[in-house]
Amino acid sequence: MEFPMMIIVILSMAVTAMGQSPPTAAVPGWKLSIEELRKQYSHYGVGKRLRPRVWPNNSRVAVALSFDVDNATASLARGDLGSEVLSRGMYGAIDGLPRILNMLDRQSVPASFFFPAVSALLNPEMVPLILSKKRHEIGVHGWIHENPANLNDAAEESRLLKQAVDVLTKATGKRPAGYRAPSWAMSPFTMRQVQEAGFLYDSSLMASDDAYEITIDGKPSGVIELPIERILDDYPYFGAADGSLPSPNLVDQIYRAEFDVAYREGGLFVLTMHPHITGHRSRVAWLEKLIEYMKSKPGVWFATHEEAARYVKDHSGN
């Protein structure tokens, strides 16, 4: 009984550390009308469902691997200048990212890398290294892993987003197609700004296992959501308790089970990782085994998030 309780404590610590959004209203829900609650609940909603009948090459499932290249930006954003957190974040650039890229080369699979722009500026060798592989995508993950919900300032959030887009566009030579909110936290203004910035897709929300069009106050936004989930994120498992628990093999059981059901349903499997967390030796070894397991199944399409978003946009309902 002790082990499950320990995992619960770890997950609770991780969610707190990741900077969850504060309540969107200071008024407790029991004091609001159902109309007011409905407005809060559906500010970012689910519009058109975007699961294609078949994936490219008659594949049964789409696998979209992603890495949030946070490195030390979350600590810098908080003003936490401890040598441990900064050096652990730095590990993502020094050893983690190169090890991950080498493994993806061995497996010949693509991935999407979401950058806080400051990460790309502090370690400018990372973006060219990713681009040299000619199979991966780079997306936007904020300016310095700021929490948009905590900012709660439309003008400041817009300024930081524009800075991030400009930096990553210059670094890659291409305007990024995708956005992922830092800490997966959105303010009431975030999605409108993502829409106005012309992003093809977002990958920050959790309302479905499969892609869908995001609605803003009930109206179609035109932005495709490629949903994420904390079940399929390395941070809750490895990022808390100094990253020492649990074993990659235990996490592997969860990820394989999620993949197996996605495969059976013909859906989308999005996995979120971080180079400073999954980039360690034992975890890259585990990730490679997971990829080999998925590749052992017939009809698995590995795609970048951009490729998956464009496909569901063009083939939904077909």
What's the pLDDT tens digit per position in 240-276? 656 666 678 889 999 999 999 999 999 999 999 999 9
Q: Is 196 exposed, middle or buried (0-12, 13-18, 19+ CB in 10 A)?
A: exposed
Domains of the chain: 2-15+45-315 (3.20.20.370)
pLDDT at 244: 62
Distances (CA, A) of 64 to 19, 111, 304, 305: 24, 7, 6, 6
Asked if 304 contacts 111 with a C-beta cutoff of 8 angstroms, the reply is yes
pLDDT-flagged residues of the chain (< 70): 1-25, 240-246, 317-318
Distance CA 75, CA 81 (A): 7
pLDDT at 19: 46
Element of type H or E holding 185: none
DSSP H helices in the chain: 2-17, 34-41, 73-78, 83-91, 97-107, 117-122, 126-131, 148-151, 154-172, 190-196, 234, 248-265, 275-278, 281-295, 305-315
pLDDT at 111: 98
pLDDT at 284: 96
pLDDT at 13: 44
Q: Is 207 exposed, middle or buried (0-12, 13-18, 19+ CB in 10 A)?
A: exposed
pLDDT at 248: 82
pLDDT at 160: 98
pLDDT at 240: 67
pTM attached to this predicted model: 0.91
